[in-house]
Amino acid sequence: MRFFILALAAVLGGGIRKTRRWGQRLERVWIGAFLIGFFLLTGCASLTPLPSPTAIQTRLSSNTETPTAFLPAAPTATERATSTFTPSPTFSPTPTPFPTPVWMGREIPLYTLRADLDFAEHTLEVAEEIIYTNQTGVELEKLVLVVETNRRSDVFHLESIKLNGEEIEPNLEGARLEIPLEPKLLPEEGVIIEITYRLDIPAKPSDEVFGYLSSQINIVNWYPFVAPYTAEKGWLIYAPSGVGEHLVYETSDFDVKLKVSDNLIVAASAEGETADDNWVHYEHKAARAFVFSVGSRLSSQTVASENARVTSYFFPDYEEESAALLEASSKAIDVFSERYAPFPYESLSIVQTELNDGMEYDGLIFVGRKFYDEYDGTIKNNLIMLTVHEVAHQWWFGSVGNDNALEPWVDEAMALYSERIFYETVYPYPVGWWWRFRVYWFKPKGWVNITIYDGYDFRAYTNAVYYRGGLFLEDLRDRIGEKDFNAFLQDYAKSYAGKIATSDDFFMILDRNTNEDYNDLLEEYFK
């Protein structure tokens, strides 16, 4: 072999050096080619031969295309008579693309819900799908879901639950449903949870929203949802208390199809579009929850501003009260949209029901009938104040979330003080009346930052969290000045939209917008 290489180099190299004429160069090349062929047949015959085509093909699946076409087997007599062999072209296989997971790139959970309501029988059949991506920054060995309807017996009836298409046996105790994860769920990875269940809707207690009345059913906290998770506190799932709200929600997207009986009015967190077979489709994006109310005797009125459409759903003979409520809520949305941030949803529903108070959800608020009965035709009454308060929760609870159980002041004090901002902007003269009627009359005392578990009754709790919280914000506003206070409100609304804010976050944003010292106010109002 070495002799072959030296001879070839001598022929080609010497020929090129000794002549520049094309004919002589070509003659030398042909001689070199002859020598290559000769030594391939003789001098290199001792090289290890390539495996035979048959040997290679036996290691490949008969259904797999190969990158190189091998020589065909010798044709049989029948094949010779009926066909002519055509050499196979060289084939480069195209790899099958791996499907992108549905949770890839999703920053917030998606809840897809299909619910069929039997109004007369007080039952709700539900098929639910949750697409959840781990945005906690840590590995999760389990998921914890909140099943609020399972706090009462004979309400929630689980039929099946799947994790990534496989049937599983979850651990369900009270409102806590645990789903083990094996392997652990890494950050930015996701899962799909499918749940089917039935709700036997109970009669509505006077102090709760969920349940049925003779002509109305209110459906809130009706589906299992993934509890928020923080590194400091773990899974944010709490027991109810005698005061305040205990549920904490992560911002999520909702895709809901709802089917109800004919001749019923449906008020929901978003406006729906009728689909096939009497199903109504709702999309509610970047919200804490999706709720609805169904009634056989409800009427409705709607007003629209540049910021949102507002619809009032009310019982017979409450047209005047509904119109006043609509006017106040529409103005409040305009005021807060300018003062804080744009209204976070496309619409707002206000629903009259039997309730001792008001209750906020994203895109829908409930107001008790008794406040309609107390309406006196002016702006100086609980119906207007309470409605404005619940409207403000669309920013302080809906857009900017918080731990409602352990830090309720973060949204309640802000919603209370928003009433003051509403009156000073729209009706400046009643601001003094508002302070006397809403706050000073109760002679409030107590620490602003108590939890819902600190043993307070309703009046003592609201005095501390709501009214003392409002007094703190008033003193803070006087201390840092109007410019810094307004800058703080807008910065806070923008920075924590879609997040769960803590007291530390509140004061961090405040310090970013003022250099004034307010430590004495903290000592006065906070324990």
Residue-wise pLDDT tens digits, 188-236 = 999 999 999 999 999 999 999 999 999 999 999 999 999 999 999 999 9
User: Is residue 59 pLDDT above 90, yes or no?
Assistant: no
The pLDDT tens digits for 450-482 are: 999 999 999 999 999 999 999 999 999 999 999
Query: Is 414 a domain residue?
Result: yes
CATH code assigned at 376? 1.10.390.10
What is the pLDDT, as a whole number, of residue 305? 85
Nearest to 493 by CA among 428, 420, 385, 402: 402
Distance from the Cα of residue 23 to its chain's centroid? 80
DSSP-based three-state secondary structure for 477:
helix
End-of-domain residue from the set 349, 369, 391: 391
Q: In this structure, are 123 and 245 located in the same domain?
A: yes
Percent of the residues in the chain that have a pLDDT greater than 70, as a whole number: 81
End-of-domain residue from the set 322, 357, 391: 391
Q: In this structure, are 485 and 518 located in the same domain?
A: yes
Beta bridge partners of 253: 110
Q: In this structure, are 113 and 235 located in the same domain?
A: yes
- Let me know if 506 is exposed, middle or buried by CB neighbors in 10 A (0-12, 13-18, 19+): buried
Percent of the residues in the chain that have a pLDDT greater than 90, as a whole number: 77
Looking at this protein, which amino acid is placed at residue 161? I
Looking at this protein, which amino acid is placed at residue 224? P
Query: Is 74 a domain residue?
Result: no
The pLDDT tens digits for 147-196 are: 999 999 999 999 999 999 999 999 999 999 999 999 999 999 999 999 99
Q: In this structure, are 277 and 310 located in the same domain?
A: no
Q: In this structure, are 236 and 325 located in the same domain?
A: no
User: Is residue 114 pLDDT above 50, yes or no?
Assistant: yes
DSSP-based three-state secondary structure for 136:
coil
The pLDDT tens digits for 399-450 are: 999 999 999 999 999 999 999 999 999 999 999 999 999 999 999 999 999 9
User: Is residue 131 pLDDT above 50, yes or no?
Assistant: yes
User: Is residue 79 pLDDT above 90, yes or no?
Assistant: no
What is the pLDDT, as a whole number, of residue 13? 41
Q: In this structure, are 451 and 510 located in the same domain?
A: yes
Q: What is the pTM of this model?
A: 0.81
Q: In this structure, are 348 and 494 located in the same domain?
A: no
The domain of 333 spans: 297-391
What is the pLDDT, as a whole number, of residue 477? 98
Whole-number Å distance between alpha carbons of 205 and 221? 15
Query: Is 91 a domain residue?
Result: no
Whole-number Å distance between alpha carbons of 488 and 510? 6
Residues 497 and 344: beta-carbon distance below 8 Å: yes
What is the pLDDT, as a whole number, of residue 98? 59
Q: In this structure, are 301 and 291 located in the same domain?
A: no
CATH code assigned at 147? 2.60.40.1730
Query: Is 365 a domain residue?
Result: yes
Beta bridge partners of 192: 131
Nearest to 114 by CA among 130, 128, 103: 128
Instruction: Give me the mean pLDDT over the 274-302 stretch.
Output: 94
What is the pLDDT, as a whole number, of residue 427? 94
Residues 264 and 219: beta-carbon distance below 8 Å: no
Q: In this structure, are 233 and 373 located in the same domain?
A: no
- Let me know if 376 is exposed, middle or buried by CB neighbors in 10 A (0-12, 13-18, 19+): exposed
Q: In this structure, are 312 and 262 located in the same domain?
A: no
End-of-domain residue from the set 391, 414, 432: 391
φ/ψ bin of 327: left (φ > 0), alpha (ψ from -120 to 50), beta (otherwise): alpha
pLDDT, the chain, mean: 86
Whole-number Å distance between alpha carbons of 63 and 44? 36
User: Is residue 54 pLDDT above 90, yes or no?
Assistant: no
User: Is residue 376 pLDDT above 50, yes or no?
Assistant: yes
Directed axis angle between helix 319-339 and helix 409-426, to 10°? 100
What is the pLDDT, as a whole number, of residue 14? 42
- pLDDT band for position 527 (cuts 50, 70, 90): very high
What is the pLDDT, as a whole number, of residue 96? 56
Whole-number Å distance between alpha carbons of 421 and 396? 14
CA–CA–CA angle 523, 524, 527 (5° rounding): 60
Instruction: Give me the mean pLDDT over the 73-93 stretch.
Output: 42
Nearest to 345 by CA among 406, 397, 276: 397
What is the pLDDT, as a whole number, of residue 278? 82
Q: In this structure, are 502 and 376 located in the same domain?
A: no
Query: Is 88 a domain residue?
Result: no
Q: In this structure, are 412 and 498 located in the same domain?
A: yes
Nearest to 447 by CA among 498, 516, 523: 523
CA–CA–CA angle 187, 190, 191 (5° rounding): 140
Query: Is 364 a domain residue?
Result: yes
Query: Is 522 a domain residue?
Result: yes
Number of domains the chain contains: 4
Query: Is 449 a domain residue?
Result: yes
Could you tell me the two tokens for 272?
């729906």
